[in-house]
C-alpha cells in the first residue's frame, strides 16, 4: 500500500467536498476520507477492509456486486446508476438519497474504484419544492436545458398542449413551436441563454404555441433562468390568451360601434340643424326687408313730425314712433341670431385677442347679470389670437350670460375663463376638430343645471324650457352657429343641481391683430349719382327716399335688366351701384359685373340680410366686397356710402 498511501493522493481525498470511498477489485474498502466518517457515521478503521456493500441499503445489496463487476469491466468515469434513484446506508441503518460518481485508478496492486458520494437530501427537497411550485402555477411551465430539450413540465402543460408528460421529457422544445416559427426558434433561444434575464418572450410580437394535434393558439410567454448543478435551466411560463384576445376584440368592436353611433347621432343632429338653418335663412331674408321698411318709414314719420311741430306738441306721438323703431331693431337682432345659428350670416372676421373681447363686454355683462350674480373673469396671459367676428363673439358672451342669469334666480357665480393649448388625438376627433392649437373659452355657472333629456336639444333653435314669452330659444343655438362658423366647436356639460359649463374651442390664427377703428359719423351726399337695384318695391322706395333726402341723385329700378336699360338710355354715368344680392332673373353679383363692364370706375355696395353664400366663402365676406346688412338705418346707410365713395 506504499503507493496507495501516497501523501499527495491522500491529501486530494481529504480535500474533496464529497465522501470519497476507494474500493479494490474484490469490492473491499481500501481508503476513505473524513467526509465518509461524517456522512455514514462509521470510524475509518471500521470501514477499511469491509465489503463496500456495508454502505449499500439492504434492498440493493443483493444486486450491487453484479453492477460493480460490470463497472470494473468498463471502468469509464460516469455517474452511477444513471436514471435510477440511488441511496446510501449509515451505520445506524438509516438511508439517505445519494448522488454517486465513479472513476477508476490503475495501481501496482490492481484497479482501484473511487466513488464520490454526495447526500442529495437537500437537493431533492429543493427539487420537490420546485416541482410543487411548478405544479401549483396557473400557467403551463416548461423547463428547458441549455441544449433546448425539455427537462421538466407541470400538469398544466399536459392540459394545454395535449401531450403526456412522458412524451415531452427529453424532446426538443421546438415540438411546442408552430411550424412557421420553428426554423428561427433555436436562434432566439440561444440569444436568451446568452443573456438570461427574466423578461417576456418576443416583446411586441404576436406569439403562438402548437398543440399535439397540430392546432395553434395565441400565447403569452415569460422567460426566466435557473442555475443548477447540471447547467442553466430556462423556464417558460406559457399562457393561452385566446379568451383575452376575444374579449379585447369584442371591447374594441363595442367601442367602434359606440363611436359609430355617436358620429351618426352627431350627423343626424347636424342635418337637423342644417335643415332648420336653411329655413331660418329664407325667413330672415324676407323678414329683413319688412323690418327695413318699417324702421325707415317710422324714421321718416318722426323727422316729418319734428319739422312740422318744432314746439314738441306731438312729442307723445314721436315717442310712440320711437317704440316702433326699437321693436324693429329687436326684431332685426332676432333675425341676426337666426342667421348666426344657421351659419348664413356674412361675417367680417379679424385676428383678435379673446381676452380683449371679454374685457370690452364685461360692464355690459355685469348689467345683464344683475347684482345677485357675481361675474368672475379668469383670463390667461399671452393668449394666442383667433380669427373671428368680434361682434359675434360679444353676442356669444351676452347669450351665455343671459342663460346663466336665468339659471340662477337666487344668485350665484358666473365664471368666464380663457386658456389655450394644443388639442391632439383622440380629443380632437371627439370634439369634431382637426388636431392643432386652440383657444378655449369656458363659461361656467353655479345654477340649477340641465337634465340629460334637455341637454341633447339645447342647440336646437326655438327650443326653450322657459315659460312662454320669456325666451326665444335662440340663445344657445346662436352660440353654436357662431362658434362653428368661426371654425370651432362647442361642448356643454351639465348635471341637475351642479351648474353648467360650456366650452368653446376656437382655432389659433397666425394673422396679425386688426387695428381699432373709430366709428364714422353719418355724412350726406353731395350730388353723387346712385343706381339702386332692389326687387322688393317697399324696400326700393325707402332706400331711394333715404338717399334722395340726403343729397344723392337716385335712380331706383326693380332688377338687373332694368338697371342695364337705365344705364343705356337714361344715365350717362353713375358714381355708385347699390344692389340687392338675391333677386329673380339676375343676382346682384351679376348685375355688378355687367355695370362694371360698362363703367369700370363705379363703386359697388351690396345690400342683403341673407346672401346664400353668393358674396362669401364659407360665410366670410370675399376681399374687396362692400356689404351693408339689412335691415339698415338711415345713419348706417349714409355712413357706408360715404366710406365707399371717399375711399381712394
Q: Mean pLDDT, to the nearest integer, of 187-206?
A: 84
Instruction: Label the pairing between strands 386-388 and 150-153.
Output: unpaired
Q: Cis bond leading into 425, ω under 30°?
A: no
Cα 207 off chain centre by = 28
Q: What is the pLDDT of residue 456?
A: 79
463-471 long-range Cβ contacts below 8 angstroms, 24+ apart: 466/406, 470/406, 471/406
Residue corresponding to grid cell 393561452: 240
Q: Mean pLDDT, to the nearest integer, of 177-186?
A: 91
pLDDT tens digits, 564-573: 999 988 888 8
Q: Which helix (H) or strand (E) holds 548?
A: helix 537-548
Question: What's domain 7-119's architecture?
Answer: 2-Layer Sandwich (3.30)
Does the pLDDT value for residue 617 go beyond 50? no
Closest CA to 75 of 47, 112, 42: 112
Q: What is the pLDDT of residue 4?
A: 47
pLDDT tens digits, 522-535: 788 899 999 999 99
Closest CA to 323 of 302, 305, 303, 309: 302
Query: What are residue 366's DSSP bridge partners?
Result: none
Contact indicator for 444, 454 with CB cutoff of 8 Å: no
Q: What is the pLDDT of residue 1?
A: 45
* All cell numbers assigned to 328: 324693429
Q: Which helix (H) or strand (E) holds 549?
A: none
Most confident of 37-41, 70-74, 80-84, 365-369: 37-41
* DSSP assigned state of 489: E
Query: Under DSSP, is residue 430 helix (H, G, I), strand (E, B) or coil?
Result: helix
Does the pLDDT value for residue 520 go beyond 90? no
pLDDT range class, residue 487, cuts 50, 70, 90: confident
Does the pLDDT value for residue 9 go beyond 90? no
Q: Judge whether 251-341 and 529-646 match in fold.
A: no
Q: Mean pLDDT, to the nearest integer, of 408-431?
A: 88
pLDDT range class, residue 105, cuts 50, 70, 90: confident
Query: Under DSSP, is residue 508 helix (H, G, I), strand (E, B) or coil?
Result: strand
Q: What is the pLDDT of residue 615?
A: 56
CB atoms within 10 A of CB 230: 9
Closest CA to 549 of 561, 538, 558, 541: 541
Higher pLDDT, 539 or 512: 539
Q: What is the pLDDT of residue 616?
A: 53
Closest CA to 606 of 578, 584, 632: 578
* DSSP assigned state of 550: T
Q: Cis bond leading into 498, ω under 30°?
A: no
- Radius of gyration of the chain from its Cα atoms, rounded to whole angstroms: 49
Does the pLDDT value for residue 441 go beyond 90? yes
- Asked whether the CA dihedral 556, 557, 558, 563 is positive or negative, the reply is negative
- Asked whether the CA dihedral 248, 249, 254, 259 is positive or negative, the reply is positive
Contact indicator for 640, 550 with CB cutoff of 8 Å: no
Does the pLDDT value for residue 262 go beyond 60? yes
Does the pLDDT value for residue 303 go beyond 90? no
Cα 119 off chain centre by = 63
Does the pLDDT value for residue 84 go beyond 70? yes
71-75, 341-345, 427-431, 450-454: range with lowest mean pLDDT: 341-345
22-26, 571-575, 609-613: range with lowest mean pLDDT: 609-613
Q: Mean pLDDT for the chain?
A: 83
Q: Mean pLDDT, to the nearest integer, of 77-83?
A: 76
pLDDT range class, residue 283, cuts 50, 70, 90: low
pLDDT range class, residue 498, cuts 50, 70, 90: confident
Residue corresponding to grid cell 348685375: 591
Contact indicator for 236, 144 with CB cutoff of 8 Å: yes
Q: State which fold the 529-646 domain adopts.
A: Rossmann fold (3.40.50)
* DSSP assigned state of 55: G
Does the pLDDT value for residue 432 go beyond 90? no
As assigned by CATH, the class of the 251-341 domain is mainly alpha
Does the pLDDT value for residue 618 go beyond 50? no
Domain ranges of the chain: 7-119, 128-240, 251-341, 347-507, 529-646
Does the pLDDT value for residue 619 go beyond 50? no
pLDDT tens digits, 147-161: 899 989 999 999 999
Rounded CA separation 369/361 (Å): 12
pLDDT range class, residue 316, cuts 50, 70, 90: confident
Q: Mean pLDDT, to the nearest integer, of 192-208?
A: 83
pLDDT range class, residue 415, cuts 50, 70, 90: very high
Rounded CA separation 375/368 (Å): 11
Q: What is the pLDDT of residue 49?
A: 93
Q: Which helix (H) or strand (E) holds 482?
A: helix 475-485
Work out the burial of residue 158: count CB atoms within 10 Å of its CB; fewer than 13 is exposed, 13-18 middle, 19 or more buried.
Answer: middle
Closest CA to 547 of 536, 535, 555: 555
As assigned by CATH, the class of the 128-240 domain is alpha beta
Q: What is the dihedral of CA 203, 205, 206, 207, to 10 degrees?
A: -60
274-288, 301-315, 500-514: range with lowest mean pLDDT: 274-288
Contact indicator for 476, 459 with CB cutoff of 8 Å: yes
Q: Mean pLDDT, to the nearest integer, of 163-179?
A: 93
CA atoms in the 13 A half-sphere facing the CB of 468? 0
Q: What percent of the chain has pLDDT over 90?
A: 35
CA atoms in the 13 A half-sphere facing the CB of 398? 17
CB atoms within 10 A of CB 425: 9
Closest CA to 629 of 346, 228, 398, 366: 346
As assigned by CATH, the class of the 347-507 domain is alpha beta
Rounded CA separation 296/540 (Å): 12
Helices (DSSP H) in 343-451: which residue ranges? 354-369, 390-407, 427-430
Rounded CA separation 58/54 (Å): 9
Amino acid at each position: 500500500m506504499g503507493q496507495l498511501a501516497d501523501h499527495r493522493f491522500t491529501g486530494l481525498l481529504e480535500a474533496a467536498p464529497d465522501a470519497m470511498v476507494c474500493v479494490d477489485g474484490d469490492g473491499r474498502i481500501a481508503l476513505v476520507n473524513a467526509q465518509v466518517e461524517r456522512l455514514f457515521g462509521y470510524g475509518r478503521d471500521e470501514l477499511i477492509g469491509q465489503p463496500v456493500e456495508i454502505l449499500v441499503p439492504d434492498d440493493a445489496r443483493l444486486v450491487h456486486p453484479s453492477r460493480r463487476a460490470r463497472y470494473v469491466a468498463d471502468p469509464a468515469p460516469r455517474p452511477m446508476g444513471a436514471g435510477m434513484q440511488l441511496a446510501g446506508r449509515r451505520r445506524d441503518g438509516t438511508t439517505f438519497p445519494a448522488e454517486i460518481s465513479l472513476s477508476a485508478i490503475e495501481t501496482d496492486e490492481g484497479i482501484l474504484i473511487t466513488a464520490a458520494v454526495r447526500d442529495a437530501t437537500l437537493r431533492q427537497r429543493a427539487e420537490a419544492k420546485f416541482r410543487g411550485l411548478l405544479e401549483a402555477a396557473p400557467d403551463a411551465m416548461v423547463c428547458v436545458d441549455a441544449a433546448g430539450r425539455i427537462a421538466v413540465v407541470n400538469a398544466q402543460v399536459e392540459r394545454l398542449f395535449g401531450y403526456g408528460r412522458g412524451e415531452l421529457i427529453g424532446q426538443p422544445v421546438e415540438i411546442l413551436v408552430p411550424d412557421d416559427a420553428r426554423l428561427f426558434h433555436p436562434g432566439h433561444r440561444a440569444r436568451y441563454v446568452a443573456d438570461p434575464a427574466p423578461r417576456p418572450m418576443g416583446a411586441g410580437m404576436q406569439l403562438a404555441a402548437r398543440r399535439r394535434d397540430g392546432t395553434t393558439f395565441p400565447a403569452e410567454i415569460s422567460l426566466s433562468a435557473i442555475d443548477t448543478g447540471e447547467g442553466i435551466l430556462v423556464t417558460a411560463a406559457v399562457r393561452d390568451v385566446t379568451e383575452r384576445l376575444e374579449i379585447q376584440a369584442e371591447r374594441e368592436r363595442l367601442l367602434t360601434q359606440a363611436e359609430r353611433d355617436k358620429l351618426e347621432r352627431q350627423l343626424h343632429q347636424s342635418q337637423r340643424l342644417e335643415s332648420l338653418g336653411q329655413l331660418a335663412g329664407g325667413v330672415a331674408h324676407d323678414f329683413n326687408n319688412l323690418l327695413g321698411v318699417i324702421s325707415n318709414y317710422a324714421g321718416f314719420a318722426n323727422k316729418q313730425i319734428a319739422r312740422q311741430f318744432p314746439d314738441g306738441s306731438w312729442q307723445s306721438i314721436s315717442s310712440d314712433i320711437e317704440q316702433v323703431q326699437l321693436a324693429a331693431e329687436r326684431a332685426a337682432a332676432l333675425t341676426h341670431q337666426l342667421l348666426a345659428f344657421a351659419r348664413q350670416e356674412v361675417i367680417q372676421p379679424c385676428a383678435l385677442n379673446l381676452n380683449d373681447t371679454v374685457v370690452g363686454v364685461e360692464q355690459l355683462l355685469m348689467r345683464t347679470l344683475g347684482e345677485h350674480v357675481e361675474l368672475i373673469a379668469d383670463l390667461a396671459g399671452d393668449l394666442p389670437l383667433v380669427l373671428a367676428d368680434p361682434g359675434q363673439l360679444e353676442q356669444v358672451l351676452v347669450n351665455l350670460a343671459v342663460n346663466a342669469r336665468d339659471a340662477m334666480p337666487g344668485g350665484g357665480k358666473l365664471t368666464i375663463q380663457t386658456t389655450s393649448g394644443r388639442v391632439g388625438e383622440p380629443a380632437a376627433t371627439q370634439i369634431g376638430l382637426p388636431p392643432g392649437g386652440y383657444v378655449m373659452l369656458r363659461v361656467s355657472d353655479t345654477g340649477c343645471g340641465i337634465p340629460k333629456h334637455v341637454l341633447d336639444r339645447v342647440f336646437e333653435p326655438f327650443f326653450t324650457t322657459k315659460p312662454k314669452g320669456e325666451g326665444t330659444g335662440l340663445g344657445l343655438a346662436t352660440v353654436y352657429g357662431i362658434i362653428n362658423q368661426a371654425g370651432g366647436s362647442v361642448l356643454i356639460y351639465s348635471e341637475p343641481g351642479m351648474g353648467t359649463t360650456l366650452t368653446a374651442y376656437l382655432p389659433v390664427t397666425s394673422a396679425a391683430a386688426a387695428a381699432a377703428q373709430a366709428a364714422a359719423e353719418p355724412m350726406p351726399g353731395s350730388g353723387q349719382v346712385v343706381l339702386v337695384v332692389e326687387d322688393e318695391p317697399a324696400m326700393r322706395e325707402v332706400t331711394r327716399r333715404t338717399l334722395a333726402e340726403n343729397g344723392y341723385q337716385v335712380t331706383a329700378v326693380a332688377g338687373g335688366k332694368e338697371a342695364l336699360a337705365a344705364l343705356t338710355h337714361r344715365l350717362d354715368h353713375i358714381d355708385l351701384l347699390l344692389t340687392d344680392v338675391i333677386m329673380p332673373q339676375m343676382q346682384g353679383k351679376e348685375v355688378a359685373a355687367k355695370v362694371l363692364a360698362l363703367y369700370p370706375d363705379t363703386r359697388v355696395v351690396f345690400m342683403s340680410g341673407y346672401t346664400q353664400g353668393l358674396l362669401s366663402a364659407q360665410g366670410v365676406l370675399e376681399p374687396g366686397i362692400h356689404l351693408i346688412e339689412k335691415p339698415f338705418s338711415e345713419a348706417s346707410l349714409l355712413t357706408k356710402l360715404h366710406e365707399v365713395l371717399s375711399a381712394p
